[in-house]
Amino acid sequence: NAGVMQNPRHLVRRRGQEARLRCSPMKGHSHVYWYRQLPEEGLKFMVYLQKENIIDESGMPKERFSAEFPKEGPSILRIQQVVRGDSAAYFCASSPRTSAGQYFGPGTRLTVT
């Protein structure tokens, strides 16, 4: 059973460009969470999605950030007009139910130059 997959593993963008981060959850997992790990900071919750629905986006910046989990295909975290402060590791986690442990992907390391 494949684990959570994220791609790309590394992404370099210039200021003002768009970044698209992809996450395929573990088979059988319908709950997807995105977290951000800034340098020298801990992991912070961003958004929680189920298929075709954003359930909780309380941790996501109001502007430039969006997320989706379509009926078919991976979950996508989209950052428009990136700024240097967006440089971080972005992790996706999936779970079979909200009360269970979460399984993390290897992360996407975004660098904004």
Partner 1 sequence: TQLLEQSPQFLSIQEGENLTVYCNSSSVFSSLQWYRQEPGEGPVLLVTVVTGGEVKKLKRLTFQFGDARKDSSLHITAAQPGDTGLYLCAGPIRNAGGTSYGKLTFGQGTILTVHP
Q: Which residues bind partner 1 (CB under 8 A)?
A: 4, 6, 31, 33, 35, 42-45, 48, 55-56, 58-59, 91, 93, 95, 97-107, 109
Nearer to partner 1, 13 or 36 (CB): 36
Q: Using CA atoms, how far apart are residues 102 and 104, in angstroms rounded to an integer?
A: 6
What is the closest distance, in whole angstroms, from the C-beta atom of residue 10 to partner 1 in the complex?
10
Q: Using CA atoms, how far apart are residues 37 and 50, in angstroms rounded to an integer?
A: 22
For the chain, the straight-line distance linking the first and the last C-alpha, in angstroms and rounded, comes to 37
Asked if residue 80 lies in contact with residue 62, where contact means CB atoms within 8 angstroms, the answer is no
What is the closest distance, in whole angstroms, from the C-beta atom of residue 16 to partner 1 in the complex?
27
Nearer to partner 1, 83 or 100 (CB): 100
What is the closest distance, in whole angstroms, from the C-beta atom of residue 59 to partner 1 in the complex?
7
Nearer to partner 1, 82 or 107 (CB): 107
Nearer to partner 1, 14 or 39 (CB): 39
Q: Using CA atoms, how far apart are residues 112 and 89, in angstroms rounded to an integer?
A: 12
Of residues 85, 42, 39, the one with CA closest to residue 61 = 85
